[in-house]
Amino acid sequence: MADIVLKYTLQSGDLLTKDSKEFIQGSASAIVFAFELLPLGLLFGAMSADVGLSATAAIGMSGLVFAGASQFLAITMLSAGASMTTIVLSTLFINLRHFLMSSYVAGVIPGRRLASYLPVGLFITDESFALASQRLGRNGKVSYYYIVGANLSIYVQWMIATLAGIWLGSALPGLADLGMQAALYALFAAILALSLSNWVDVLAAVLAAILAILFTIYGHPNLAVLLASLLASITMLGVQKWTHKSG
C-alpha cells in the first residue's frame, strides 16, 4: 500500500508541491506500522474498558497523551489503585526520551518558527523518529513535512485503533486477555530493525539487550531497559568517536 502511494506521488509531477509530496511520502511510509499499532490500540481500548475507564477518558488519553507504553502503564497502575501523582510521575519518567527525540529532530530541520515545531515535538513517536532517522541516514537530510506526515499518520492510526478497541472491549469482555501483549514486542522489534544501518547500531542493540538482561537478573527490572539503553548509547558513542579519530 505504501509503495503504491509513494509511486503515485513520484509520478504526480507538477500536480503536487515539493512539500506536499514530502508530507504524503511521510504519511505513506508510516503505514507499515499499522500492523503493530492496530493490535496495540485494540489492546489499549479493551484494557481501558476492562478496568472501568470511560470511553471518553480512554479516547482523551490516546488523543492527548499519545504514548502507547505510558498509556498501558497508566491504566495498569490505575487498576492497581495507584495515586494520580505516582501515575503522572511514572509516565513522565518513561516519556523523557521524547525530549531527546524531539530535540534531535528539531536540530536537523533548523530555521523554522517556534510554533511550527509543535507538530514535530508533540506528535513525535518511536516509530516516526525511526523513519526520520532512516531517511536522514539514507538521503543525508529529512524534511519538516516528511516528519509531520509520518507523525500525523501514526496519530490517526492510533486513534482509530483505540476507538475500535473500546468498542470491541465493551462488546467482548475479556478481549484484553487474548495475549495481544506480544504485539508490543513486535512493534519495538520493527522499530529496532529500521534503525540498524551500520555496525555501531547493531553492537549498541546487542549491548543494550545484554545489559537489560543482566540488570533484570540482578534485581533492577524496573530500570533495566532505561539503564541498559543509556549505558549502551554512551559506550557506543565513545567507540564511534574513537574510531573516527583513529581513522
Ramachandran quadrant class, 183 (left: phi over 0; alpha: psi -120 to 50; beta: rest): alpha
Q: What are the C-alpha distances in Å from 189 to residues 34, 162, 183, 211?
A: 14, 21, 10, 17
Q: Say if CB 44 and CB 75 are below 8 A apart.
A: yes
Cβ 169 vs Cβ 59: under 8 Å? no
Rounded Cα–Cα distance for residues 120 and 143 (Å): 11
Taking the model in full, what pTM does it have? Answer: 0.68
pLDDT of amino acid 43? 82
List of the chain residues with pLDDT < 70: 1-16, 172-197, 220-223, 225-226, 237, 240-241, 243-247
Q: What is the pLDDT of residue 86?
A: 79
Q: What pLDDT is attached to residue 175?
A: 57
The angle subtended at Cα 166 by Cα 161 and Cα 167, nearest 5°, is 100
Largest CA-CA distance found in the chain, in angstroms, rounded: 62
Interaxial angle between packed helices 2-11 and 18-29, expressed in degrees from 0 to 180 and rounded to the nearest 10: 170
Q: What is the pLDDT of residue 235?
A: 77
Q: For the chain, give the number of residues.
A: 247
CB atoms inside a 10 Å sphere around CB 38: 18
pLDDT recorded at residue 182: 56
